[in-house]
Amino acid sequence: MATAQVDTVLVRSLVLLETLAGMEQPVTLPALAERLDAPVSRTYRMLRALQHEGFVDHVGRQGYRLGARALGLGALLGPWPELRALARPVLVRLAGRTSLSARLHVRSGHDRVLLLAAVPPHDQDPSWRTRIGERSPLPRGCSGRAILAHLSAAEVAVVLRARPGGDGRALRSELRRIRGDGFALSHADNHAGRRGISVPLRSGSAVTGALSLSGAQDAVDDDGLRALAGTVLAAAEEIAGPLSAMLGPEGARRRHALDVVPPERPGP
């Protein structure tokens, strides 16, 4: 098989795993193929190959779910121990000061992904569970729009072209306002009955993610969120630079190995 074909198969397999992880599991073969916008036959071949290597489990007529090897890979990829050590104390302190839930999102292509969260005990409502790894399109929600508003015009255009429906004029106007204010607000965009505020995590020209606060609509209003903008921005400044060094394209920060290194054998 030509190198280009191999590369395409590898990328499709990774996209399949990402898509499967974002669906309620087990997932039937037709449902997964539809979400991928791919032929059922090709989706089946990729699933069989991933199943053979332990990345996917087949659970009979119910369909497919992530296998133990995929879950292990997720544990190795993140959140990295050094990233957790950097960001979690900031989130916990922010949640403690404001009595709101603090969240760290990172950009992933056209989406934002929830990486870490600190949720006060009184805000742990089962009707809107915090799901680490939760993914949402950048144009939706304050965390995504806080990131989108600070990307280059070319990047914004690419994201909006991929957005179904609408000409994007209203969203572009909102993005200009967010850039001017330095923060984005949301009202039940991703979770019913929730309000939130979010600021971008920036280091130079790099935008790696967003830091957010959210609470129940009856616990906080827009004026209260706006009054917290400076607090969120100060917390974001604590982690934006180191996070960019870890995640940014120019990052040279070393990562610690997670494998247990076997002890050296004594010499002869």
Provide the 3-class DSSP secondary structure of residue 130. Answer: coil
**Residue 126 token pair:** 């089962």
What are the domain boundaries of the chain? Answer: 3-74, 78-247
What is the model's pLDDT at position 197? 97
- The pLDDT of residue 26 is above 80: yes
What is the model's pLDDT at position 29? 96
Max Cα–Cα distance, the chain, nearest Å = 74
- The pLDDT of residue 127 is above 70: no
Architecture of domain 3-74: Orthogonal Bundle (1.10)
Q: Which amino acid is at 90?
A: V
pLDDT tens digits along 90-102: 999 999 999 999 9
pLDDT tens digits along 147-173: 999 999 999 998 888 776 655 788 999
Tokens 């709101």 belong to: 100
Cα–chain-centroid distance for residue 259?
A: 25
What is the model's pLDDT at position 222? 92
What is the model's pLDDT at position 257? 64
What is the Cα–Cα distance from 247 to 155, expressed in whole angstroms? 18
pLDDT tens digits along 136-145: 899 989 999 9
Q: Are 142 and 200 in contact (CB under 8 A)?
A: no
What is the model's pLDDT at position 134? 85
Query: Greater confidence, 76 or 180?
Result: 180
Query: Greater confidence, 162 or 259?
Result: 162
- The pLDDT of residue 72 is above 70: yes
What is the model's pLDDT at position 250? 47
What is the model's pLDDT at position 6? 54
Tokens 């032929």 belong to: 39
- The pLDDT of residue 118 is above 90: yes
What is the mean pLDDT of the segment spanning 107-130? 83
What is the model's pLDDT at position 84? 84
Query: Greater confidence, 262 or 16?
Result: 16
Containing H/E element for 103?
Answer: strand 101-108
Question: For the ranges 54-68, 75-89, 129-143, which has the lowest average pLDDT?
Answer: 75-89
In this structure, the dihedral spanned by the alpha carbons of residues 59, 65, 68 and 72, taken in order and rounded to 10 degrees, is: 180
Q: What is the DSSP letter of 127?
A: G
Containing H/E element for 97?
Answer: helix 81-98
Query: Greater confidence, 85 or 1?
Result: 85
Q: Are 106 and 115 in contact (CB under 8 A)?
A: yes
Give the chain's mean pLDDT. 86
User: Tell me, which fold does domain 78-247 have in CATH?
Assistant: Beta-Lactamase (3.30.450)
What is the model's pLDDT at position 246? 75
What is the Cα–Cα distance from 184 to 213, expressed in whole angstroms? 11
* Per-position DSSP letters for 185-252, written without gaps between them: EEESSSSTTEEEEEEEEEETTEEEEEEEEEEETTT--HHHHHHTHHHHHHHHHHHHHHHHHHHSTT--
> Percentage of the chain with pLDDT > 70?
86
Query: Greater confidence, 129 or 40?
Result: 40
pLDDT tens digits along 171-229: 999 999 999 999 999 988 877 889 999 999 998 878 989 999 999 988 889 999 999 99
